[in-house]
Amino acid sequence: MAKAGKLLPRHHYFSLFDPEHRRQMILLFKILKSAKDWDTFYKTASRARVKANEGMFVYALTMAVLTRPDLKGIQLPPLYEINPHFFFPTTTIRQAYRAQMQQEDATIEATFTGTLKNLEQRVAYFGEDIGLNNHHHHWHADFPFWWRDEWGHKDRKGELFFYMHHQLNARFDAERLSNNLPRVEAIGWDKTIHEGFAPHMSYYEEGEFPSRPDDMHFLDLPFMTRDQMTRYESRIRNAVDKLKAYGPNGPVSLNSSEGIDILGNMVEANENTPNLAFYGSIHNLFHVFLARIGDPDGRYGV
């Protein structure tokens, strides 16, 4: 693949939600995970570090370290130290680079992304908390949606997916209420997203993170429509009402102690969903719809 020029190039953004990026990452992960001993693993990782896409390498290496028994106890640096541009505004990163280039000690103040003109700024301390965002990343590294049972079963993966996101929403609601803000409103595929967001961050080499102005609407993507997402959501709601999902081999009961685990797998959706073709991937595709809301057909490359 490398000789054919099909690998994701270096200095290019990497996204788990891009099927081709994810496919290549899984190949690299499997190579690292299956290395027969430490020496083979070390040499393979060293080679991949200078040849593979940087973001892909960091993620695949992280997953290998977390899942290889012989690497248990190795502590990787937190993501905000590896990729600080995912956590700090561009102005902060540039000041840090300037201080490093000039070999000067500097105290750099990291500010939030918005201004007091935006009421949502009252809870920026929560949504932009570095530790919380790093925890969210690490949780999904412990329970990746692309993980297959052949590499080791992740017990109660769907249940923990539901629990973690439920707890995040509950805590965010509590923070909002304590700052005289209403609870989070459910987003609908045909509803207006009133609150915009300007991250003021940059990719390492590929320009600024796109902003989202106020009062935006979801638009169809080249590979998925809002109507199809609405149908997926309706089918999941119907399964909850009937306490029964449809699997490839017939009905799957949700009226058991495993029901919430199955439901969480359906909503994410991960490799353990009972029927990906029928229930879709609400959570993962929602990330894509929201990220591409300003450029749904990719004409601007954002």
Provide the percentage of residues in the chain whose pLDDT is more than 90.
Answer: 73
The answer, yes or no, to whether residue 249 has pLDDT greater than 70, is yes
pLDDT at position 127:
92
244 has which bridge partners? Answer: 253
User: Which residues have a catalytic role annotated?
Assistant: 268
Q: What is the pTM of this model?
A: 0.90
Contacts with 273 (C-beta within 8 Å, 6 or more apart), sequence order = 265, 266, 279, 281
Q: Is the pLDDT of residue 182 over 70?
A: yes
Q: What is the mean pLDDT of residues 140-166?
A: 95
pLDDT (0 to 100) of residue 208? 85
pLDDT at 204: 79
Indicate the pLDDT class of residue 299, thresholds 50, 70 and 90. Answer: confident
Residue 209 above 90 pLDDT?
A: no
For residue 131, pLDDT over 70 is answered with: yes
Give which of 289, 171, 193 is closest to 233, Cα–Cα: 289
Q: Which CATH number fits domain 114-302: 1.10.490.10, 3.30.360.10, 1.10.1280.10, 3.40.50.300?
A: 1.10.1280.10
Q: What is the pLDDT of residue 2?
A: 52
Q: What is the pLDDT of residue 298?
A: 85
Residue 293 has what pLDDT? 93
Q: In this predicted model, what pLDDT tens digit does every residue of 213-230 receive, in sequence order?
A: 999 999 999 999 999 999
| Residue-wise pLDDT tens digits, 45-82 | 999 999 999 999 999 999 999 999 999 989 999 999 99
Q: Is the pLDDT of residue 4 over 80?
A: no
